[in-house]
Structure 1
């Protein structure tokens, strides 16, 4: 592939794609672009050259290139670069969560967030290619999700392993969860996991799990006709008395009384 000076996309239009390129791939824009570029590397290795400073990206790396920044990027010598990308302009939607800086990179260490980022990119690319009704709005939604996931990574200092634990608790909230199994899934001992989790979250794994279950219980009590006993089972409490005690401790009344005040007596 020849060394080319590539034009940038038109204003107001999201452009997205998936490239898997060998080391002949290079793009140079000495005048920069009028829009932003975001990339997410799936495999291999690429580089960005800004003001003669090179930054490399590999699997799991998100790169944000600010509009108006002169740049060059491409595949590292002797490598391939498999990456998802999108151009977007600030007039598409309010993006006040974009960071400062000409070029910003971040490695997504959490497997769940990597998968979610990739899925959002794939939806964006699909909608851009198909251009069905409301395609632009759907592209904006996917871009917003990607950028918010990026911003979330920038503004939290949570250990990636603890973030994975939160995902596991949320996904398996209804099940009986063993600390040993959770610890094994993130490569830690049970005691080390318990210590790190409380250090990061300010409460224990069990307290966090119960909080998730109680949050869901409130929704079910307020918006369904499920009985308090059924709700307890639905959210993962196998013992109703334990559920009622936890509920009273948090909300100041038993679940049945709370339900009567919101929807009336439990159905018989």
Structure 2
């Protein structure tokens, strides 16, 4: 948006407040110096990222350009960029930076309480962390568990120097949590291998059916297909119950040209060629006379 020099150069709003132009001031002092001072303050506000209001001009504006356009402003807008306001803004910024750089005090452990549950001997007897080996084990477990609350408590130094104490029951809980985590992590590859082997077994089953269809077999008893699939899973060291209905659904999805036919308690998967043969044989053997 282009700057409208006929309005306040600061807010660009058309209000009832009168505009004031330094060039028209009755003050005999250097009138262009007011522009220079204003632009200098704008630049310093920008440096500390504390510009009071959004401006349509940047730091590249010059005193000469302001003079040539007889730049004017509302007094209330101009005062926002006064030297006193700039000084206060710098002070606030300095205070904020100092507070951010100031190191925060670490919370020390209460030596009369368990550092794990933060309860005292009213729960049970407290034991001290007495060796560096224990200190390391505790830190390793808490770090691997990524327990941010406990990590904050033990970050002040070694636990012996901090006179850290614990309940045996709390330590047992911590170790159990850690064991559970390790167990879950070790199971992940096994789960992946198991799923991959299940996929391999299903692929082998579909290949068997495809080869059988190519050889002229177009009808498959579902119970036999199910048994074959279970056997192949067991060969891959996967022992699980296989739902016949789900297996049938997967096969029908894989072979859309097949369909299920039932007779009594038995179900079969029949391919189109098999259906044609069944119909052909039925017509051939039936007496239509």
Under a length normalisation based on structure 1, what TM-score does the superposition of the two structures give?
0.24
Higher helix share: 2
Greater per-residue strand proportion: 1
TM-score by length of 2: 0.22
Whose RCO is larger (CA < 8 A, sep 6+)?
1
Higher-Rg structure is 2
